[in-house]
Structure 1
């Protein structure tokens, strides 16, 4: 059974992880393939770095707006460095997923391209805005940062992953 849950940004990972564990037989011959496929598909679904699964790429506009106002120079180094590391991982997994499945790879490439465009614009706007100065400013609504254009690409990617895990006779 597929289910979503957990913190924001982790529900998609749970859907795919649950799916991968239920769809693959666990014989010695299949165990390596199962592990490889689970890693190939689960990590890119999260669109995150392995060090901090709570910080997907689309969370960076929020992190930028919530940067420490008392240490602007340090934040100008820290946040771009985190984004650079994540961009490298996104590029790596883009190639990796395409090698696993052309359909999943194409959907992931579309998701990453849209994510870079939408979240990139939101990041630029966040850098131009002043850092949050008080507790009330921590509440950032979709009128401040709107990432809703990414949703159709996330859905298309998850659908491609689900289709990839379906038994051949059900495709």
Structure 2
């Protein structure tokens, strides 16, 4: 016996396309080739901003990010850089330097927080030490169970998310 199925009428859905957004390259960001092997550190100069540093850690690129990939270490869990509800980023976003006038996340952060980047080993060590102190303070606030849980997830003891950045300025990019 053959059953005939009624065809459902097509539902026409109109979807608004995302507005194309472009962030222009910020001239305050040094070229990727001038960064230290580990990355680059920046001092935040935005008046009234409660944290002093941001870092960009080089990473080996993949098919999606390409060879100039990096991971940003932001001083807060969430950074809002505009009035729109989609104008924010999490504390460790990954991006890569884009060719041409298009910028990347490091350009957004530089513009939003008025960052002065410094490719010196001293600047890297100063920013790294600040992030390690912040991480230690956060670690001390965790309960014993949270510490064990985080340690099992990250594979590191006494290190929070700063573990990727707790390296010397001449360390290789991370994978």
Which one has the bigger strand percentage? 2
TM-score (structure 2 length as normaliser) = 0.26
> Which protein has the bigger helix share?
1
